[in-house]
Chain A
Amino acid sequence: MNTITILWLRQLKKYFRSRSRLIGSIGQPLLFLIALGFGFGPTFQAAGEGNYMNFLAPGIIAMSILFTAMFSGIEIIWDRQFGFLKETLVAPVSRYEIMIGRTLGGATIALCQGTIVFFIAMLVGFTPNLVMLPFAFVFALLISLFFTAFGTAIASALDDMQGFQLIMNFLIMPIFFLSGALFPLKDLPEVIYYITLIDPLTYGVDGLRGTLGAVTQFGLLTDFTVLGIATVITLAVGSYLFSRIQV
């Protein structure tokens, strides 16, 4: 086994052993699907926008990936607090390998999470187009990688637990609510529309929606290109910041 594999495996073991995290990560998306899906469904339909559950489910899948991936990235703060980070930082392996192992681990968990929510959504009435499923998987993977690397980058620059609440309130929540996960982007007031354009999750949600059967706003190629480039940049910045951590 090599460094990347063992660190990847560590993330997976920790995730599947934490029962509260598993339950919490299923409960929240389920609540959103039921409350919003059934709550806004009739209005959405009446407005001529079609089936809201099919519109909403890709957004909620993206949400659960966002939360799980960011949390995995931010886990560096915990590892620093509880000391484990030091153990990896004094080891004779490159910090890039550590970063890659951690990021792949976090991204894998987020993908599992997205897949679980995909099936939950089907249970409450989501009827996806299965032909494009492999492409949906590519988008889910990109969202997972992007936000794990993003969380890693932020956590590498922070050095205490206080930062966590700040990130939660001022970063994760706006990223989610302004991504078009819950509402269509067309016809938005101009200012809000431009804000959604700088939110990377917007392109992830749109890509998932396009591949799973609803309409896309920007087209799949644009979604893929924007998200792909953003992911590469974030991985590079995250690796750099991680390599400079001092304990």
Chain B
Amino acid sequence: MQAIPITLAIDVLNLSKKYGDVVAVDNISFKVKQGSVFAFLGPNGAGKSTTIKMLTTLLVPTNGTVTLNGFDVAKKSNEVRKNFGIVFQDPSLDDDLTAYENMELHGVLYKVDNMKERIEQLLTFVELWDRKNSPVKTFSGGMKRRLEIARGLMHHPKILFLDEPTLGLDPQTRNHIWNYISKMNREDGTTIFFTTHYMEEAEKVADEIVIIDQGKIIAQGTSTELKAKTKTNSLEDAFIDLTGHDIRPEEAPKNARMRAWHGRR
């Protein structure tokens, strides 16, 4: 009998990024199966966002290869870009445009079919339809976040990258959004790759977890395996056991995240 080949959504091999002498990502390799929910965890400054930038064609790696749904990120960047959607950690909306215009711009860039219906559906889902004609600069942080998520989902990506997607959202909204993302994963087979500092989120939804610290992968497995390995009862305890208790230094402009991080501890 012939084995059915399992296509990988993401295949990362010996990936590194150096800035001068600083090694942001240090020779990491991992695989993400199609249709899985994959959590990429690590303390601040561990190299998560740098890795995501390399996976999503925004940054050229110093070393190593990345393959997304069979396409080499370095050689077939346009094919790769058709395959994924991303919700960035930092805002990436145009504040001068309205919510609707931001969605429309995305729809045109990605050639989304039935764009109007799709925009209405998603803006209704994130409860921004009645604010569709307001400029984004009048939105609160949480509203912007919801709009970014709606936009990232718009073109039915096969792989969805979510870099701290629920940061700054209340529990109701977080729950609402995770339900939708889980549904996409179940029904459309969308592969989910996400980072978060909410360990209970990762524990609840992730099939597979990778923990990165100081640019290196230090642990990998299911939530159950990581807890068993560290003899702890929750993923949060396992995470702290693996990465230590020290609070990580961070760049100045991102101090908002730093405060959020302190607040949770």
Are B92 and A87 in contact, CB atoms less than 8 angstroms apart? yes
Are B109 and A18 in contact, CB atoms less than 8 angstroms apart? no
* Cβ contacts under 8 Å, A2 to chain B: 108
* Cβ contacts under 8 Å, B84 to chain A: 90
Q: Tell me, rounded to whole Å, the shortest Cβ–Cβ distance linking B165 to chain A.
A: 15
Confirm or deny: B182 has a beta carbon within 8 angstroms of a beta carbon on chain A: no
Q: How far is the CA of A14 from the CA of B91 in the complex (A)?
A: 18
**Nearest-neighbor residue (CB-CB) of A94 within chain B:** B78
Confirm or deny: B178 has a beta carbon within 8 angstroms of a beta carbon on chain A: no
Q: Which of B65-95 contact A (CB under 8 A)?
A: 78-79, 81-82, 84, 86, 88, 90-95
* Cβ contacts under 8 Å, B92 to chain A: 83-87
Within 8 Å by CB of B95, from A6, A82, A90, A246, lies A82
**Could you jot down 18 A-B contacts, CB within 8 Å?**
A3-B108, A5-B108, A13-B101, A14-B94, A17-B135, A82-B95, A83-B93, A86-B58, A88-B109, A89-B57, A89-B58, A90-B56, A90-B84, A91-B109, A92-B78, A92-B79, A92-B81, A246-B58
* Cβ contacts under 8 Å, A1 to chain B: 108
- Known contacts A90-B84, A246-B60; 18 further A-B pairs (Cβ under 8 A): A1-B108, A3-B108, A13-B96, A14-B96, A17-B96, A18-B96, A83-B88, A83-B91, A84-B93, A85-B92, A87-B105, A89-B57, A90-B58, A90-B86, A91-B81, A91-B109, A92-B81, A247-B59
Q: Tell me, rounded to whole Å, the shortest Cβ–Cβ distance linking A2 to chain B.
A: 7
Are B105 and A10 in contact, CB atoms less than 8 angstroms apart? yes
Confirm or deny: B205 has a beta carbon within 8 angstroms of a beta carbon on chain A: no
Q: How far is the CA of A168 from the CA of B95 in the complex (A)?
A: 24
Confirm or deny: B143 has a beta carbon within 8 angstroms of a beta carbon on chain A: no
Are A6 and B60 in contact, CB atoms less than 8 angstroms apart? no
Q: How far is the CA of A3 from the CA of B104 in the complex (A)?
A: 11
Q: How far is the CA of A14 from the CA of B90 in the complex (A)?
A: 21
Are B58 and A13 in contact, CB atoms less than 8 angstroms apart? no
Q: Tell me, rounded to whole Å, the shortest Cβ–Cβ distance linking B234 to chain A.
A: 33
Within 8 Å by CB of B109, from A3, A17, A82, A247, lies A3
Are A247 and B81 in contact, CB atoms less than 8 angstroms apart? no
A6-B88 contact, Cβ under 8 Å, with A92-B82, A93-B109, A247-B53: no
Interface bracket on A: 20 to 34
Q: Tell me, rounded to whole Å, the shortest Cβ–Cβ distance linking A88 to chain B.
A: 7
Confirm or deny: B180 has a beta carbon within 8 angstroms of a beta carbon on chain A: no
Most chain-A CB neighbours within 10 Å: which of B82, B90, B108?
B108
Q: How many A-B residue pairs have CB under 8 A?
A: 71
Within 8 Å by CB of A6, from B59, B93, B109, lies B109
Confirm or deny: B33 has a beta carbon within 8 angstroms of a beta carbon on chain A: no
Q: Tell me, rounded to whole Å, the shortest Cβ–Cβ distance linking B195 to chain A.
A: 16
Q: Could you list which residues of chain A lie within 8 angstroms of chain B, going by C-beta atoms?
A: 1-3, 5-7, 10, 13-14, 17-18, 82-94, 246-247
Confirm or deny: B12 has a beta carbon within 8 angstroms of a beta carbon on chain A: no
* Cβ contacts under 8 Å, A89 to chain B: 57-58
Q: How far is the CA of A169 from the CA of B84 in the complex (A)?
A: 42
Q: How far is the CA of A4 from the CA of B245 in the complex (A)?
A: 50
Q: How far is the CA of A92 from the CA of B82 in the complex (A)?
A: 5
Confirm or deny: B30 has a beta carbon within 8 angstroms of a beta carbon on chain A: no
Confirm or deny: B169 has a beta carbon within 8 angstroms of a beta carbon on chain A: no
Q: Tell me, rounded to whole Å, the shortest Cβ–Cβ distance linking B48 to chain A.
A: 15
Confirm or deny: B97 has a beta carbon within 8 angstroms of a beta carbon on chain A: yes
Q: How far is the CA of A82 from the CA of B148 in the complex (A)?
A: 14
Are A92 and B110 in contact, CB atoms less than 8 angstroms apart? yes
Q: Which of B171-228 contact A (CB under 8 A)?
A: none
Confirm or deny: B118 has a beta carbon within 8 angstroms of a beta carbon on chain A: no
Q: How far is the CA of A14 from the CA of B95 in the complex (A)?
A: 10
Q: Which of B20-64 contact A (CB under 8 A)?
A: 53, 56-60
Are B88 and A86 in contact, CB atoms less than 8 angstroms apart? yes
* Cβ contacts under 8 Å, A13 to chain B: 96-97, 101
